[in-house]
Amino acid sequence: MGRWAFAKGHGTENDFVILVDRDGANPVTAEQVRWICNRRAGIGGDGILRAVRGRHIPEWDGDPEIWFMDYRNADGSIAEMCGNGIRVFVRYLVDEGLTEGPLVPVGTRAGLRETEVLSDGRIRVAMGPARVLSEQVRVSTADQQAFDAVGVDVGNPHAVSFCADPDGLDLRSAPTWEPAAVFPHGVNAEFVAERGPHRLAMRVFERGSGETRSCGTGTVAAAAAWHARHGVVATPDLAAHTTPVRYQVDVPGGSVEVELGEQAYLTGPAVIVARGELSPPT
């Protein structure tokens, strides 16, 4: 199969390997994704960001020339959206001259996402509406701590639990939830505590990747769940506010800003740290 050019980047230490496949000639298999993301035998990462023109993605019915973020979790599974990954994706496209900023539209399996490269280097992403679900969910960690959780749809599924001390939880293995039918395809589990007015601390166990240093869609879900739980808004899609409400969400890898209004916006850093070539297994 030869060698592939790659780049490595992260957004609040949620790290990704970036592959450019403009013409869709090198789709990656689940086995190749697992090898590339392996931190001992491969490059290492929480997932793969494959940059491909939209016309090569069968389920994409938008602009065929748009850059599409074909995102894979570290275990090779496909995910609809990645809030940190899309910032890294845009940072790479702009740095390499593959697109012009500051406004960059990106195709994802959760739909079109508009992004903006800010003057301070951070990237702001229009995440779509954050929809708080009505179903009651109970989440349990590996050390048998159980929490009532709030389900949130940010283009991908989340279960947000509130606790006094997220740092004290055992997230070495995947939390479980019930009823299982609420999230039939798995869920990202966030554990959140208030650290001040409009400031939250969060840890996350991501489906397909395990505990990560950050989850962009998870920070949006955390802010939306907290916002809704405390009775600030009456509608589950948070569309009642004409003036955005801003939250700072602190994760082990840094901090991001979440704006909630008619839709959610996520703003945070994105850094490319390495470029090179890899020889994937056949």
Burial class of residue 103 in the structure, from the number of CB atoms within 10 Å of its CB (0-12 exposed, 13-18 middle, 19+ buried): exposed
Residues 96, 100: Cα–Cα separation, whole Å: 10
Contacts of 119 (CB under 8 A, 6+ apart): none
- Active-site residue 215, yes or no? yes
Residue 156 marked in a binding site: yes
The count of residues in the chain is 282
Active-site pick, 187, 201, 215, 249? 215
Q: Where do the H-state alpha helices sit in 56-140?
A: 83-95
Q: Residues 19, 20, 28, 82: which is the catalytic one?
A: 82
Is 38 a known ligand-binding residue?
Answer: no
Residue 84 is assigned to a ligand binding site: yes
With 0-12 / 13-18 / 19 or more C-beta atoms within 10 angstroms meaning exposed / middle / buried, residue 175 is buried
109 touches 243 (CB < 8 A): no
Spatial distance between the Cα atoms of 239 and 244, rounded to a whole number of angstroms: 10
- 216 annotated as a binding-site residue: yes
Does the annotation place 3 within a ligand binding site?
no
Q: Is 188 annotated as belonging to a binding site?
A: yes
**Quick check: is 163 catalytic?**
no
Q: Which residues are annotated as a binding site for substrate?
A: 14, 73, 83-84, 156, 188, 206-207, 216-217
Output the known binding site.
Answer: 14, 73, 83-84, 156, 188, 206-207, 216-217
List residues with catalytic annotation.
82, 215
